[in-house]
Structure 1
Amino acid sequence: MSRHVLVIGAGPAGMMAAIKAAENGAEVELLEKMKKPGRKMMITGKGRCNITNAADITEILRNIHGNGAFLNSSLRAFDNQDVIHFFEEQGVPTKTERGGRVFPVSDKAQDVVDAMVHRLHELGVKIETDIAVRDLLIQDGHIGGIRTSAGAAVKADAVIVCVGGASYPGTGSTGDGYAMAASVGHTIVPIRPSLVPLETEEEWVKDVQGLSLRNIRGTLLVNGEKIQELFGEMLFTHFGVTGPIILSMSRMASRYLSGSDALVELCLNLKPALTPEQLDARIQRDFGKYSRKQLRNAMIDLLPHKLIEPVLDYAYLQPDKPVHQVTVKERHRLGDALQHLTLTITETRPIAEAIVTAGGVSVKEINPKTMESKLVSGLYFAGEVVDVDAYTGGYNLQAAFSMGAAAGTWSAWND
C-alpha cells in the first residue's frame, strides 16, 4: 500500500517535493493557502524566473552563504543539471545568461509554474488551494497529519512543510512554518531579511533615485573594518540603495544592524578599474579639455549627470568653481571621492520586501540527506522555512528544488 504524503505549500520546494514523492509511488496531497500555486515564483527574476545557476557544485555551495554545507547531500542528489533537465523534459527550454543565471528561453515565470503544475496533474497529485494549515498532529513522536485552519484533521504517513519564509507575504509567505515547527519542539533561528534593499542616512540619494551604476565596487564597512566587497551593479532609490551587489551584501549588513550600535557603511568605488594614479591622470586630461568651464561641467565624461554634484559635495568642492582654479590638493580630494564615496546604512527595508528570509528552522535538527526532522519522524522541511539562504543568481531556487526533491523522495520511501 502506498504511503500518503501531505505537502504544505505549493512554492518551488513544495511542488518539487510533491512531484518526487508521487514519482516514487506515494499518494500525494498538496495544500496551498493561496488561490493558485507558485505565487512567489511568478515574481522571481523580475518575472522571468531564474531557476538555477550553471556553476559547478562547489561554486553553488559557495554562494549559499547561509548554511551552504547543509545542502551538500541534497544538492548532489538533485543538482542544477537535474533542474534544467526536468524543465526541458516538461517543454521549457532554458538559456544561460551573464553570471551563469539560467532562465526559461521564453523569459516567462508562468511557463515554469505551469510546467510544474502540469507534471503534478500528470502524476495524479491532489492539489487543494485556499487551505491554510493550523497545526501539525503528532502521535508518539511521529507525524500523524495536520489540522486545517477550518478545524478539519487530515491524516498522513508523512508531512513536508514547505511554506516559505516571511518575505513577500502577499504571495503567501507569512512565516506560518516557524510556528508549526516551534510547536513540535524545533528551534527557530531568529529570522531577518536577506536579499533586501538598504536604507541610507544621506539625503542626496533621493535626488539621484532611479540612477543605475554598472561596473562599480561596493565595500561593506562595519566600524571602519571591511566586511565584504563585491563588484557589479547597483541602483539608487528614494530611500537608499538596491541592485545585485546591494542585495548580496544585505544579509551581512542586517546582521550588524540588528540590535547593535555598529556603524555600518557602504563605500563605493565608482572607478574600480583605475589605480589612484591612473584616475588622477584621467582627471587631469578632462580638466585640460574643459579648462574654461565650471567644475560641474568638467565632470560630464567622468560621471552620470545626476551624480556630479553629490560627488563634488563629498569632496568639499564648489560645483561652480572654474576648473583652472582647482588646486592639486582639491584634485586629489576629487579622485578620493570617486573611489571612496561612502554612504551610512541605517537599516534594511522591512522583511516583507526581502527576496529571501534568513533564519528559520535550525539545520541542526534536520537530516541533511533526507530533510526529515530529527525530533519527529515522518516530518520533513524544505525550502525557505529552513535556515538556508543564498546570494542572487538562481542559487535560492536551486536550494529549494534540491531540498524539495530530497524530502519528496525520502518521504515516499521511509516506513
Structure 2
Amino acid sequence: MSEILVVGAGPAGMMAAIKAAENGASVTLLEKMRIPGRKMMITGKGRCNITNAADISEIIRNISGNGVFLNSAIRQFTNEDVRTFFEGQGVATKVERGMRVFPVSDKAKDVVDAMVHRLHELDVRIETEVEAEHIQVQHGCVCGVQTVSGTCYQADVVIVATGGASYPKTGSTGDGYRMARELGHTVVPLRPSLVPLETEEKWVHDVTGLSLRNVRIGLLVDGKPAAEEFGEMMFTHFGVTGPIILSLSRTASLFLDGKHVVELALNLKPALTPEKLEMRIMRDFGIYRRKTLKNGLVDLLPHKLIGPILDFAYLDPEKPIHQVTAKERHRLVETLQEVVLTIKQTRPLAEAIVTAGGVSVKEINPKTMESKFVRGLYFAGEVADVDGYTGGYNLQAAFSMGYVAGIASARSGENA
C-alpha cells in the first residue's frame, strides 16, 4: 500500500486525500490550522459557491489564469461530478443567478463537514496544527516531509495543496511556493486576483456602502478599453468592490504592475441609449419642474450619488429645473454614462479572494498534476498558477485538481 502525504486541508487537499484513499492508498493529511477548511468556511460570504453549472468550455474560459491547463482535469471531474459528490454526502445543491451552485442550506460549514466526514470514513489520518517546512527528496524522488517542529513523515508521494497567499489568517501563507522553489520549481510572481480596487478620487468615501445594480464598467488601460463587466458593484471608503470589480481586478493588477494608467469607466444607465436616457430625464424634469436640479433626479439616481454626478457634469444642484438648458441636459446624459475613476492600486494580496501566480503550470503534468522535476511530487489547487473569476470557478478548479492528483498519486505509488 502506497503512503501518501497531502499538505494542506483546503478543497484541493481534502479532495486529493479522499480520492487517494478511495483508490487504496494510506493517506495522511497535514494541516497547519486547528481545523480543516478554514478558507472554505468564508467563501461565497459563508455560503460556499462550490461550482458553476455552465458547460465545461465556459468554465474553462472563466478560469482566466491558465484555464486551458485544466481542460483534462475538469473533464475528469466535472461540475456535475462535484454536485454528485456532495449530494452523495448529504449536501443538496441549488443553482442561482449566474449559474452559481450553492448548498441548499447556504452554509459553507456543511460543505466542509461533508468532506471531513468522508475523510474519516476512509480512515484518512488528519494531523492538524502541523506545519510542513521541507519536502524531502532522494535520487529525484519524494521520500517525505519535515515539519517546523522537526517531525519527519515518510511517504512515497507528497501532494502540495497549501493554497495561495491571500487570507493568511486561514492558513494560506504561501508555504507551498517556498517548498516548490527549494525543489527547483519556478514560481510565477504573485498578484492579487478577485480583490477590491483603490481609487484616486476621494468622493467615493462620501458614498461608502452604496451598492449599484445593472451597471456596466469598462476597464481602461492608458485610455484604451481592456475589459468590461456588467452587474453589481459597491463603493467603499477606499474605492470600489463587488462582483464586477472583482472580475476586473485580475486584469487591473496586471497592468498596474506594469505602471500603466488604469481607469474604470462607469455607465450608470447601460440599458438606455443616450437618446432614451435624455427622454427619461426630460420626463422626470416634467414631473419635478418646480424643484431644483438636485431634487429632480431622485427617481433616477440613489440620493448619495446625485451630488457627485451633478459635480462631474458641472451643474449647479440648486439650479431650478425649468432653467436647465439642452446643452446642460446633454452633459448630464454623458456623465451618467461615463463616470471615470482612476485606480491607484489594488487592495493588498492578503485581502484578495484568490492569488494569481504560483507554481508554473509548464512544470506540472496536466493529466496527473505531478511535477515534471520530482517523481512523487504533485500540486493541486491555488498553489499552482491557476485562478478564475468569481462564480464558483476557483473551487471547481481546486476540486478537479485534487481529484486528479489523488487518483494519479495513488496509482503511481502502487507502481513505485
Q: Under a length normalisation based on structure 2, what TM-score does the superposition of the two structures give?
A: 0.99
Task: Give the Cα–Cα distance (whole angstroms) in 2 for the partners of residues 210 and 366 of structure 1.
Answer: 43
Aligned position for 2:353:
355
Structure 1, unpaired ranges of 5+: none
When the two chains are superposed, the root-mean-square deviation of aligned CA atoms in Å is 0.6
- 1:273 aligns to what SS in structure 2? coil
2:305 maps to 307
Partner of 1:216: 215
What pairs up with 1:5-404 in 2 under 5 angstroms?
A: 5-260=4-259, 262-404=260-402
Amino acid in the other structure paired with 2:228: E
Map Cα deviations across residues 72-104 of structure 1 (whole Å, 9 max, x no partner). 000000010110000000000001100000000
State the distance in 2 between where 1:316 and 1:98 align.
38
| Partner of residue 410, structure 1 | 408
| Deviating 4+ runs (over 4 angstroms) | none
1:164-209 CA deviation, whole Å, 9 max, x = no partner? Answer: 0000000000001100000000000000000000000111101111
Query: Helix, strand or coil: the match of 1:344?
Result: strand
C-alpha distance in 2 between matches for 1:331 and 1:171? 51
Amino acid at match of 1:126: R
Instruction: Supply the AA of the counterpart residue of 2:165.
Output: A
The alpha-carbon deviation at position 250 of structure 1 amounts to 0.2
User: For 1:135, what is the secondary structure of its paired residue?
Assistant: strand
Give the CA deviation at 1:143. Answer: 0.7
Letter in 1 for 2:83: I
Deviations along 1:323-373, one digit per CA (max 9) or x if unpaired, are: 111111111110000000111111000000000000000000000000000
Q: Quick one: which amino acid aligns to residue 51 of structure 1?
A: I
Residue 410 of structure 1 aligns to a residue in which SS? helix
Following superposition, the deviation at residue 259 of structure 1 comes to 4.2
Aligned mates of 1:163, 1:317 — CA distance in 2: 54
CA distance in structure 2 between the partners assigned to 1:366 and 1:143 by the alignment? 15
2:279 and 2:93 mapped to 1: Cα distance? 46
**Distance (whole Å) between structure 2 residues aligned to residue 318 and residue 23 of structure 1:** 70
Partner Cα separation in structure 2 for residue 329 and residue 222 of structure 1:
30
The one-letter amino acid of 1:196's match is V
Letter in 2 for 1:99: G
Q: List per-residue Cα deviations over 1:96-154 (Å, max 9, x = no partner).
A: 10000000010000000000000000000000000000101011111111100011221
Q: Distance in 2 between matches of 1:311 and 1:385?
A: 43
SS at match of 2:341: strand
Deviation at 1:68, TM superposition (A): 0.3
Query: Matched residue of 2:203: which SS?
Result: helix
Q: Distance in 1 between the 2:329 and 2:223 partners?
A: 24
Alignment-mate amino acid for residue 406 of structure 2 = G
Q: Deviation digits for residues 31-52 of structure 1, max 9, x if unmatched?
A: 0000000000000000000000
Match for 1:349: what amino acid? R
List alignment gaps of at least 5 residues for structure 2. none
Give the secondary-structure state (helix, strand or coil) at the position aligned to 2:49.
Answer: coil
CA distance in 2, matches of 1:67, 1:318: 50
TM-score by length of 1: 0.99
- Quick one: percent identity of the two aligned structures? 71
Work out the CA distance in 1 between the residues paired with 2:371 and 2:261. 39
